[in-house]
């Protein structure tokens, strides 16, 4: 009996010692606490835009104007934008529906977005919805009218036209916030090219690298410029033209009313950074044809493109 007892004892002893050592090591670990939830085990979130509140309140407000309309991907596209915009400090989202009423879908979405917003609506007459005619003209002008009615010379800010079919990097908002007049930068996936950009020499815009009508006064995409709020307020008649405007000339027709090419402020390292800021991600077959592969392409961190065909950028 004694031999049986001792044999079992020596078999179990190593396992008991291992368990004791593991328990001792585990109790010496420092628990990781979540800065958001304040309890052990929570994942820590790195917020690149988090600033001391005193510094944040001094930042110019970015007013992003987003026209939108009812379609199957509307909420998905707005969600993509919201996931970016909610990380930007001092940000005000102006969403204008192409509708005779403010829809419940967009109203509920914005109420849960967690950011300052203004929800507007105006219906585009059917005669202006024909193929080839400028889009979202009434919506952008309605947003500009709201700014002129609700903001004053005391307010400091930047106005940016953020269409809901585009994708933006957080770095873009850091670049545009210092806009004094009208600032410009490159835009990816537009005009049948991988990118288009202003051509800059000695800090001045002298031309345009674009795949469509380089003779335009401002050969730039709607996602490629921002305007100081005081420029908008100081030019009460400046608006996007419906009558007399040719297809693709909305940007030029608007910018001609408020600035000159020589006064543009190049951002993104004199417009030489041709990636990671803004992408025109509209659907259709007008993308530059790239090598097709079975991959999902992420063009920059934090934001994942939705609804695009799978292409590898090479």
Catalytic residues: 251
Name the DSSP class of 60.
Answer: P
Q: How many CA atoms lie within 13 A of 156 on its CB side?
A: 9
- C-alpha pair distances (Å), 37 with each of 89, 105, 190, 242, 283: 21, 30, 42, 51, 39
* Mode of pairing for the β-strands spanning 91-97 and 157-161: unpaired
DSSP 26-38: HHTSPPPB-TTT-
253 phi, psi to nearest 5 deg: -60, -35
Extract the tokens encoding 254.
């608007």
Residue closest to 140 by CA, chosen among 91, 84, 94, 92? 94
The beta-strand segments (E) located in the chain are 61-68, 91-97, 117-121, 157-161, 166-168, 182-184, 187-190, 193-201, 204-209, 225-228, 265-266, 278-280
- Cβ proximity of 178 and 289 under 8 Å: no
The reply, when asked if residue 24 is annotated as ligand binding, is no
Residue 166 burial (CB < 10 Å; 0-12/13-18/19+)? buried
157 phi, psi to nearest 5 deg: -170, 180
- Cβ proximity of 56 and 90 under 8 Å: yes
Detail the residues annotated as belonging to a binding site: 165
Detail the residues annotated as belonging to a binding site for Mn(2+): 165
């Amino acid at each position: 009996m004694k031999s049986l007892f001792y044999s079992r004892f020596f078999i179990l002893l190593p396992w008991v010692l291992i368990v004791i050592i593991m328990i001792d090591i585990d109790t010496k670990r420092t628990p990781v606490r979540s800065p958001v939830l304040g309890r052990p085990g929570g994942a820590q979130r790195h917020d690149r835009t988090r600033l001391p509140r005193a510094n944040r309140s001094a930042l110019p407000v970015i007013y992003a104007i987003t026209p939108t309309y009812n379609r199957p991907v509307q909420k998905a596209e707005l969600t993509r934008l919201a996931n970016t915009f909610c990380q930007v400090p001092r940000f005000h989202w102006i969403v204008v529906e192409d509708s005779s009423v403010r829809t419940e879908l967009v109203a509920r979405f914005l109420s849960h977005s967690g950011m300052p917003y203004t929800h507007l609506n105006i219906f585009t007459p059917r005669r202006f919805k024909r193929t080839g005619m400028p889009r979202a003209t009434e919506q952008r002008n309605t947003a500009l009218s709201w700014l002129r009615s609700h903001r004053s010379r005391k307010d400091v800010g930047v106005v940016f036209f953020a269409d809901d079919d585009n994708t933006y990097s957080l770095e873009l908002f850091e670049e545009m916030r210092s806009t004094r007049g009208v600032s410009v930068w490159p835009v990816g996936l537009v005009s049948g090219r991988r990118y288009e950009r202003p051509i800059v020499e000695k800090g001045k815009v002298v031309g345009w690298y674009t795949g469509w009508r380089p003779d335009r006064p401002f050969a730039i995409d709607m996602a490629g410029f921002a305007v100081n709020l005081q420029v908008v307020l100081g030019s009460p008649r400046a608006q996007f033209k419906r009558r007399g405007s040719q297809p693709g000339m909305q940007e030029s027709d608007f910018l001609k009313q408020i600035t000159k090419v020589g006064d543009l402020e190049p951002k993104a390292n004199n417009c030489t950074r041709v990636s990671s800021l803004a992408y025109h991600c509209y659907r259709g077959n007008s993308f530059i044809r790239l090598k097709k592969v079975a991959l999902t392409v992420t063009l920059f961190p934090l934001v994942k493109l939705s609804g695009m065909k799978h292409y590898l950028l090479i």
